Amino acid sequence: MPSTRRSPVVVRLALPAVLSLALAASTLSGCTASAQGQGADDRPVVLTTFTVLADVAQNVAGDHLRVESITKAGAEIHGYEPTPRDIAKASEADLILDNGLNLESWFGQFVESVDVPHVVVSDGVEPLDITEDITEDASTGKPNPHAWMSPVNVQVYVDNMVEAFGDLDPAHADEFEANGAAYQAELQEVQDELVDGLSALPEHQRALVTCEGAFSYLARDAGLTERYIWPVNAEQQATPQQITSAIEFVRANDVPAVFCESTVSDKPMRQVVDATGAAFGGTLYVDSLSEPDGPVPTYLDLIRYDTETIVGALTGSAS
Ligand SMILES: [Zn+2]
């Protein structure tokens, strides 16, 4: 009898010891998995072609998807050449988002080399065509790809993302929808700020002269006349005729300030400045966000920053 009474005691002692060993082992293996970094992160991966789309997508995705951009902050995005690493990374993604409207000239070939679904986020946006008001080139008559420079268009991008993310991760579809609606309200706010801010410009200062013709949508929304040296970033840009034409426009319209985009050289615009006496109004952000510690870490920052820079330089109130 005494022995049978003792044995349950032994068992009771032994069991917690085995359990704690098992716990220690599983904690250890848990540590190893997260030490390997992404191994522990099994969220679906969404890749975008450039940083602006990644930021918009992140706002819709919340914490449920891993969103990354193929091109990095500051990169030239029109004629980007994907690296073997980009292709390897893309082939492991669950979804790729591109802007469309001929923005990414490299993208067609890129998606052919990977077996991953992709969604064109500008679907449903009414495109503005590139007109030939300077010199006709290969882009004339094609849609202007910079549709995101109108926050109202980005509301359409968000609708497309909500739908694509809901298909990718149906368990969180309601959250994507709620995130999308909240972000669309912020887009409306920044759109109103843009239109209000630029409507303060006097009639004779309502001309926006930039390097690339990237502001067609913003100029339409804000009632500005847009002029640029070249229509879309390409290998052939800033020809002597294009620069002469910009100089003539600035002189004829007494344009107080001109601008250039962050992802291209501002040298040609400096020539316009030297020839006309217009001020260099500053660097505008279009095709890329800045690094996180720069002036435009998010898309909403980008629109606000450009609006302030344009208004400040054209009215002479810039610091
Ligand atoms: Zn561009």
171 & 271 share domain: no
240 & 162 share domain: no
102 & 209 share domain: no
155 & 173 share domain: yes
186 occurs within a structural domain: yes
Integer Cα distance of 310 and 257 in angstroms:
9
| Domain carrying residue 184 | 45-133+150-192
Query: Cα(237) to centroid of ligand 1, in Å?
Result: 12
228 occurs within a structural domain: yes
**DSSP label of 75:** -
218 occurs within a structural domain: yes
161 & 110 share domain: yes
pTM of the model: 0.85
Query: Cα(2) to centroid of ligand 1, in Å?
Result: 87
162 & 291 share domain: no
162 & 284 share domain: no
- Of the candidates 282, 101, 305, the one whose C-alpha atom is nearest the C-alpha of residue 208 is 282
Burial of 43 (0-12, 13-18, 19+ CB in 10 A): middle
187 & 287 share domain: no
Cβ–Cβ < 8 Å for 69, 47: yes
Give the end of a domain, one of 192, 225, 242: 192
180 occurs within a structural domain: yes
Cβ–Cβ < 8 Å for 53, 97: yes
143 occurs within a structural domain: no
Query: Cα(252) to centroid of ligand 1, in Å?
Result: 26
173 & 95 share domain: yes
Provide the residues around ligand 1 (an ion) whose CB is within 5 A: 214, 287
For the chain, how many structural domains are there in total? Answer: 2
Question: What backbone phi and psi angles, to 5 degrees, belong to 230?
Answer: -130, 150
Query: Cα(192) to centroid of ligand 1, in Å?
Result: 23
Q: How far is CA 196 from the centre of its chain?
A: 24
Cβ of 66: how many Cβ atoms within 10 Å? 17
CATH of the domain at 182: 3.40.50.1980
Query: Cα(179) to centroid of ligand 1, in Å?
Result: 28
161 & 241 share domain: no
122 & 231 share domain: no
Give the end of a domain, one of 161, 192, 223: 192
64 occurs within a structural domain: yes
Query: Cα(306) to centroid of ligand 1, in Å?
Result: 15
pLDDT by position in tens, the chain (length 319): 444 444 433 333 333 343 444 434 333 333 333 334 455 789 999 999 999 999 999 999 999 999 999 999 999 999 999 999 999 999 999 999 999 999 999 999 999 999 999 999 999 999 999 976 555 666 778 999 999 999 999 999 999 999 999 999 999 999 999 999 999 999 999 999 999 999 888 887 899 999 999 999 999 999 999 999 999 998 778 999 999 999 999 999 999 999 999 999 999 999 999 999 999 999 999 999 999 999 999 999 999 999 999 999 998 875 4
- Of the candidates 262, 261, 259, the one whose C-alpha atom is nearest the C-alpha of residue 310 is 259
